[in-house]
Structure 1
Amino acid sequence: MSDDTAVPSRDGARCDMVGLLLLAACAAWTVLSAEGRQARPEGVLLGLLAVTTGYAMGRIAGASLPVTGLLAPAVGVAVFVPAFGRPVLGEDAQAALLALSVGAACCAGYSATGRVLPRACGALALVLAAESLLTYSLVGALACGGTLLVAGSVHRTHGRARASALLAICALAAVGTTVVLARTGAGGAPVPADRLTLWREALTDLGEQPLRGVGPGDFGSGNASSAALQAAAEQGWPGVALLGCAFAWTLWALARSPRPTPAALSAAGALTSLAVLASVTPVLGAPAVAVGAGLLLGLGAARP
Structure 2
Amino acid sequence: MSDIAVPARDGALCDVVGVLLLAACAAWTVYSASGRQAQPEGMLLGLLAVTAGYALGRIAGAVLTVAGLLTPAAAVAVLAPTLGPALLDDDALAALLSLAVGAACCAGYAARSRTATPWLSRACVLLALVLAAESLLTDSTVGTLACGGTLVVAGSVHATERRGWPSALLGLCALLAVGTTVLLARGGAAGAPVPADHLGLWRAALADLDQQPLRGVGPGDFAGGSASSAALQAAAEQGWPGAALLGCAFAWTLWALARSPRPTPAALSAAGALTALAVQASVSPVLSVPAVIVGAGLLLGLATACP
Please classify the TM superposition score into its range, dividing by the shorter chain length.
over 0.9
Amino acid at match of 2:297: G
Match for 2:275 among 272, 275, 297? 272
Q: Provide the C-alpha distance between the structure 2 equivalents of 1:12 and 1:101, rounded to a whole number of angstroms.
A: 29
Contact 2:262 2:303 in 1 (8 A): yes
What do the CA deviations read for 1:87-138 (whole angstroms, capped 9, x no partner)? 1001000000000000000000000023211110000000000000001100
1:107 maps to 2:110: no
Counterpart mapping for 1:151-162 below 5 A: 151-162=154-165
1:76 maps to 2:79: no
Report how far residue 254 of structure 1 moved: 0.4
Q: Which residue number in structure 2 is paired with residue 300 of structure 1?
A: 303
Moved over 4 A (4+): none
Q: Which residue number in structure 2 is paired with residue 195 of structure 1?
A: 198
**Higher helix proportion (structure 1 or 2):** 1
Q: Which moved more, 1:286-295 or 1:182-191?
A: 182-191
SS at match of 1:187: coil
Report how far residue 9 of structure 1 moved: 4.2
Contact 1:81 1:94 in 2 (8 A): yes
Match for 1:184 among 184, 187, 192? 187
Amino acid at match of 1:80: L
Q: Provide the C-alpha distance between the structure 2 equivalents of 1:6 and 1:59, rounded to a whole number of angstroms.
A: 21
- Report percent identity of matched pairs: 76
Report how far residue 66 of structure 1 moved: 1.1
Report how far residue 187 of structure 1 moved: 1.9
What do the CA deviations read for 1:2-50 (whole angstroms, capped 9, x no partner)? 7631415424400000000000000000000000000000000000001
Q: Which residue number in structure 2 is paired with residue 118 of structure 1?
A: 121
Contact 1:10 1:257 in 2 (8 A): yes
Contact 1:62 1:69 in 2 (8 A): yes
Contact 1:39 1:216 in 2 (8 A): yes
Amino acid at match of 1:273: A
SS at match of 1:21: helix
Q: Provide the C-alpha distance between the structure 1 equivalents of 2:173 and 2:221, rounded to a whole number of angstroms.
A: 29
Amino acid at match of 2:253: T
Match for 2:225 among 222, 225, 232? 222
Q: Provide the C-alpha distance between the structure 2 equivalents of 1:3 and 1:93, rounded to a whole number of angstroms.
A: 36
Counterpart mapping for 1:1-304 below 5 A: 4-112=3-111, 113-114=114-115, 115-184=118-187, 186-304=189-307
Q: Please, which runs of 5 or more residues in structure 1 have no aligned partner?
A: none
Q: Which moved more, 1:235-244 or 1:6-15?
A: 6-15
SS at match of 1:82: coil
Contact 1:3 1:110 in 2 (8 A): no
Q: Please, which runs of 5 or more residues in structure 2 have no aligned partner?
A: none
Q: Provide the C-alpha distance between the structure 2 equivalents of 1:5 and 1:186, rounded to a whole number of angstroms.
A: 43
Q: TM-score, normalised by structure 1?
A: 0.98
Q: Provide the C-alpha distance between the structure 1 equivalents of 2:236 and 2:144, rounded to a whole number of angstroms.
A: 28
Q: Number of matched residues?
A: 303
Compute the RMSD of aligned alpha carbons.
Answer: 1.0
SS at match of 2:79: helix
